[in-house]
Structure 1
Amino acid sequence: MLRKPPQTKRKPTNRPKRQPTKNPKQPNQAAKKHWFWGPSAQSSVPTQSQPALQCLTPIVVILPIHNEQASLPGTLKKVTQYIYRHPHVTFVFIDDGSVDRSCDILTQGIRNAKTPQLQMLTYKQRAGKGYAVRMGMRAAVMHCEYLCLLDGDLAYSLDHLDDLMIALQSADIAIGNRALGITTEPKRHWLRGKIRQFFTQLARKGLGLAYPDPQAGLKGFRQPAAQLLFDRQSLTGFSFDLELLYLAKKYGFSVAQIPAQVSQPHQLKVSQVKLVKDHLWMLKDLMRIYFNNWVGRYR
């Protein structure tokens, strides 16, 4: 059973603090994009609805979704059952411009749950998984002690939250590692597996990351680490995990790994990642990380 984390004193660090701007941008201000590095970390996408999060608990779990109408009813049922047993955990769904019935299903599910432990943020124009995660983390980071990230279709069960919180008692960041878990994923097309393996190795070596599974949708952050990292995150697509871990290494945050077990229903699900297009985009994102660091965007 997930228990409320004990209050622990952290030694003060000398990591730089982000200075507030004199004229902060409004949530509905259009994102400024560049042909190479894309939107800046401070830019925003016009939103359909971005209410303030209310009554947040010490632990907040962010779940980004896009066109998940098929899996959402089951996900909402599991999340609702979980929050009734864990009053110190809040779940926030981020709807990344879904064009199916995801938003309606979420709205009805939250209305039926009748608890502030289940909330959502949504916007009309799809902006990418990285943007959705950043939006949710920024909305919650000043009101909680721990922030967790789970894929919105619960590719990793809620039981993993226990392991994340245990790891975060001695580390700034905790990430899932599918190589440490016992998984029986079905055999995929050999080309998809080879391309994924190649780009993962390229990203690890290019960025100097020591983690064999940097992009598993299972991560946890202590509040100080989350505040600094998501204030500097700029990538809005599937490569945002790589940028976060690169920033974690740059600023000296400790990272723990926990076993990650892919859920049985997710093993049969068709991936939304496009085989060639998204992996070529990942290569471009790696160049963006190098460029952003070179021009001082990560200071």
Structure 2
Amino acid sequence: MAALVLSFLIPAYNESARLGATLDQVLTYLRAQPYDSEVIVMDDGSTDNTVAVAEEYFATHRGRVATRVLSYTPNRGKGYAVRQGLLAARGAVALFSDADLSTPIAETPTILRPILNGDYDVVFGSRALQGSVIGQHQPWLREASGRFFNRMVRLVTGLPYADTQCGFKAFRLDVCRPVVEAARLDRFGFDVELLFLAHQAGLRLREQAVRWNDAAGSKVGLLSGLHGFRELWALRQHQRRGHYAAALACSRALAASQCAAPARGLV
């Protein structure tokens, strides 16, 4: 069996209504690529038939792309779901995407290529950089709260990035796995934690402008924002208590060794 280049991860919570259409777009795209890949749906304790939809789709659309469903109960949060997918991924690079494909699947090369070329270890989509294209905007209150949250992220963590919350991020797994294993935040703050740990470990991060459209039915709301601020505080507490120290040292050592660099020139 050829080595997998990409693991495409889709965290899902009560996504039965749109998951079939999402999987159709993702698998159609990946089957047309020159590299081997897999798709993993991480069901985050859904109370609808998300698991049944995913399993039925995969059973009736077999092809060269490997597919899996990871499911558990109860609901733990998107961060927990993404972490399970990253730890289960078998590709050289793992990319997670929101189930609504608010960032179109066609943006994959923009995120994947810099890692496969050996230039970066983490590349993440951004809606705030020059070159970003937002078709359908979020409601004004959500956009304003997102900008405020980003200012708080910069203040609390020192991260220099304009958008940490876009749901389209890719990780070179050989050097990022210790960071993923050390992560502890399960909800809205998980993106910040992963980027913070990768940055602290001295990994090479790139914030990349992407296309993005707000999708109806988003599960991000006021409660998510409150979770985010609480988790920013928790992140600082974990750092002060040294909970991340061993993982950061491990990632630094892996990065310094330049081990297992992903293959180049595949996208």
2:199 aligns with one of 249, 255, 258: 249
Structure 2 counterpart of 1:261, one-letter code? R
Conservation of the 8 A alpha-carbon contact between 1:174 and 1:221:
yes
1:172 is matched with which residue? Answer: 121
1:229-268 equivalences in 2 (<5 Å): 229-263=179-213, 267-268=214-215
Aligned-pair identity (%): 28
Measured at CA, do residues 114 and 191 of structure 1 come closer, stay the same or move farther in structure 2, by a change above 3 Å?
closer
Conservation of the 8 A alpha-carbon contact between 1:177 and 1:212:
yes
Please state if 1:272 is matched with 2:216: no
2:260 is matched with which residue? Answer: none
1:113 is matched with which residue? Answer: 61
Conservation of the 8 A alpha-carbon contact between 1:56 and 1:90:
no
Please state if 1:205 is matched with 2:155: yes
1:1-299 equivalences in 2 (<5 Å): 57-86=4-33, 87-115=35-63, 117-140=66-89, 143-168=90-115, 169=117, 170-180=119-129, 181-186=132-137, 188=139, 190-263=140-213, 267-275=214-222, 277-299=223-245
Measured at CA, do residues 65 and 187 of structure 1 come closer, stay the same or move farther in structure 2, by a change above 3 Å?
closer
Counterpart CA distance in 2 for 1:192 and 1:252 is 32
Counterpart CA distance in 1 for 2:102 and 2:209 is 13
Deviates more, 1:203-212 or 1:108-117: 108-117
The runs of 5 or more residues in structure 2 that have no matched partner are 246-267
Measured at CA, do residues 153 and 75 of structure 1 come closer, stay the same or move farther in structure 2, by a change above 3 Å?
same
Q: Secondary structure at the match of 2:154?
A: helix
Counterpart CA distance in 2 for 1:193 and 1:147 is 28
Q: Secondary structure at the match of 2:212?
A: coil
Measured at CA, do residues 124 and 297 of structure 1 come closer, stay the same or move farther in structure 2, by a change above 3 Å?
same
Q: Secondary structure at the match of 2:170?
A: strand
The runs of 5 or more residues in structure 1 that have no matched partner are 1-53
Measured at CA, do residues 127 and 56 of structure 1 come closer, stay the same or move farther in structure 2, by a change above 3 Å?
farther
Conservation of the 8 A alpha-carbon contact between 1:65 and 1:153:
no
Radius of gyration: which is bigger? 1
Counterpart CA distance in 2 for 1:103 and 1:203 is 34
Conservation of the 8 A alpha-carbon contact between 1:137 and 1:226:
no
Conservation of the 8 A alpha-carbon contact between 2:9 and 2:41:
yes
What is the number of residues matched between the two proteins? 239
Q: In the TM superposition, what is the alpha-carbon distance from 1:93 to its structure 2 partner?
A: 0.8
Q: Tell me the alpha carbon deviations over residues 80-115 of structure 1, each in whole angstroms, 9 at most, x when there is no partner.
A: 212321351211110111111211110100101124
Measured at CA, do residues 73 and 194 of structure 1 come closer, stay the same or move farther in structure 2, by a change above 3 Å?
same
Task: State the TM-score, normalized to the length of structure 1.
Answer: 0.75
Conservation of the 8 A alpha-carbon contact between 2:100 and 2:215:
no
* Runs of 4+ residues deviating >6 angstroms: none
Q: In the TM superposition, what is the alpha-carbon distance from 1:71 to its structure 2 partner?
A: 1.1
Counterpart CA distance in 1 for 2:166 and 2:204 is 18
Task: State the TM-score, normalized to the length of structure 2.
Answer: 0.84
Structure 1 counterpart of 2:233, one-letter code? M
